[in-house]
Amino acid sequence: MSTASECIFCRIVRGEIPSTRVYEDDSVIAFRDIQPAAPVHVLIVPRRHIESLHSLTAADTDLLSALVAAARAVAEHEKIVTDGYRVITNIGQHGGQSVAHLHFHVLGGRQLGALG
C-alpha cells in the first residue's frame, strides 16, 4: 500500500497532478477519470487519505454524507439524473480497487449493463 504522500489521489487533491475538477468542497473533490468507462466517468475522493469504504468508522459519518452529496451534485452537473447513473466504490484487490484511496465512480451518459 502507498502512503498518503505517494498516493496518486492525494497528489491530485494537493494539485501536484493536474485533473479536470467538476466539483469540490471542504471534504471531497470530484474529477474526470483519465480512462473513462462511460461518456460520464467522474471520480469522487475525500481530501483526507482513507484506504477504502471499509476503513471508514462511525466518526466518518459526515464524510460519507459529503461523498454521497457530491455524487448527487456531479450527476446534476453532468445532466445524467433523468436517464440514470451508477455510483460504485471498489474495496480491495478482489473488489477491483486499483488505488488504495477511497473513491466513488459516477458513471452515466449511456445505457450501463446490469451487474450480477
Bridge-partner residues for 42, per DSSP? 32, 106
State the greatest distance between any 2 C-alpha atoms of the chain, in Å, as a whole number. 39
CA 28, 72, 30 angle in degrees (round to 5)?
A: 30
Active site residues: 103
List the strands of the sheet with 104-108, edge to edge: 21-24, 28-32, 40-46, 104-108, 85-88
